[in-house]
């Protein structure tokens, strides 16, 4: 199996193109290949597949073998790969996702290669049971959740995949490994959840660290950055355009008042190519 190793701000993926569907053993394959000691090493295994609705179709299998509905960093990698490898040689293309439908991307190209990708991430989902949470409310803002004797307050947002955003005094130094897995699997979240810990620095800047459902702590999460901006606007903490700073770098996020869509702009990088026995 031929692959390309790619990353978006350090959130890294094994990208496979040329297949028509996922292999039957894709979960076991992802667990094996994503292992950083005995495999290639990655946060997820990404397949670029043919689509009847868009230029390409994306499927993402997390490092634990579960499937993700959407991933903002992965979609930027897919768009860069599709352009650079001439699967869709145009600077505006569409990518079909499992959980967020068909999404539009705009490519910033220099010297024939994609340097940055702006993705229309669609409208955020805020209704509690649709995120999903077990809370039947039109919007879930600053809601308490107790884990292991500690109470946090979260805002729930879906960007095609579920997120709970929690504000803390120092996101950069926050203990992800202790609290991330407890919150990910909390009964309030029937499909588990991605957890963002956020410290807002100004109206247009926030620090974020993430515990990703099915992958654990990662250097970046594009949908999490989008959820962070939406949550921060709902909580009155930022304006509708802001830089979200992650461990792997910065993403620029916009929540448009005109169409209610969230737009994410950031880089994607190709690291190396290779082949592996399945």
Enter the tokens of residue 207.
């620090």
Asked if 101 and 158 touch (Cβ cutoff 8 Å), the reply is: no
In the block, residue with structure tokens 């809370």: 135
CA distance 269 to 144: 38
Q: CA triplet 263, 266, 270: central angle to 5 degrees?
A: 135
Catalytic residue, from 34, 77, 164, 221: name it.
221
Examine the residue annotation and report whether 221 is marked as an active-site residue of this protein. Answer: yes
Q: Which two tokens stand for residue 127?
A: 């209704």
Catalytic residue among 71, 77, 164, 226: 71
E strands present in 26-137: 44-49, 56-62, 67-68, 92-96, 102-110, 113-120
> What count of other Cβ atoms lies within 10 Å of the Cβ of residue 112?
7
* Distance from C-alpha of 19 to C-alpha of 209, rounded to nearest angstrom: 34
Between helix 222-234 and helix 72-84 the angle, nearest 10°, is 130
**Active site residue ranges:** 71, 221
């Amino acid at each position: 199996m031929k692959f390309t190793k790619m990353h978006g701000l350090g959130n890294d993926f094994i990208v496979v193109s040329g297949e028509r569907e996922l292999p039957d053993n894709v979960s076991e394959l992802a667990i094996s290949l994503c292992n950083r000691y005995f495999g290639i090493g990655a946060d997820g295994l990404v397949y670029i597949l043919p689509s009847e609705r868009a230029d390409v179709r994306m499927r993402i299998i997390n490092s634990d073998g579960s499937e993700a509905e959407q991933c903002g960093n992965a979609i930027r990698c897919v768009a860069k790969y599709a352009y650079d490898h001439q699967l869709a040689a145009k600077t505006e293309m569409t990518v079909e996702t499992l959980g967020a439908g068909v999404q539009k991307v705009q490519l910033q190209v220099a010297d024939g290669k994609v340097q940055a990708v702006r993705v229309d991430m669609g409208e955020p989902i805020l209704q509690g049971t649709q995120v999903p949470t077990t809370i039947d409310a039109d919007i879930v803002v600053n809601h308490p959740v107790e884990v292991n004797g500690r109470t946090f307050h979260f805002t729930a947002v879906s960007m095609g995949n579920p997120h709970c955003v929690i504000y803390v005094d120092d996101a950069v130094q926050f203990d992800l490994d202790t609290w991330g897995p407890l919150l990910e699997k909390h009964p309030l979240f029937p499909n588990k959840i991605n957890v963002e810990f956020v410290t807002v620095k100004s109206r247009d800047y926030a620090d974020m660290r993430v515990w990703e459902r099915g992958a654990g702590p990662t250097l970046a999460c594009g949908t999490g950055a989008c959820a962070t901006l939406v949550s921060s606007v709902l909580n009155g903490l930022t304006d509708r355009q802001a830089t979200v700073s992650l461990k792997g770098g910065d993403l620029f996020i916009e929540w448009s008042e005109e169409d209610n869509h969230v737009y994410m702009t950031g880089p994607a990088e190709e690291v190396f190519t290779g082949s592996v026995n399945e």
